[in-house]
Structure 1
Amino acid sequence: MKTSARFVALLLAAGATFGAFWCGLVYGLHVWPPDIVSGRETVLASVQSQSGERFKLVQFWGVDFYTTQLEHIRPDGSVKITQIDGDDKKRWKYSAELIEADKTLVVSFPDKPLTTNYRWDLQRFVAPVGREPFWFETSSVATK
Structure 2
Amino acid sequence: MAHEKIFAGIPMSKCMRDMCKEEDYVFLNGQTKPDKTTGYSMFQDSEWQQQREERLRRRLEREQQEQERQRELEEQQKKKEEEWKFHVSKLASERESLRERLHRLREFRDFQKRVLVQDLGLDPDKPNEKLTQLLMRL
TM-score normalized with structure 2 length: 0.29
Larger strand proportion of the pair: 1
Q: Which structure would you say has the larger Rg?
A: 2
TM-score normalized with structure 1 length: 0.28
Larger helix proportion of the pair: 2
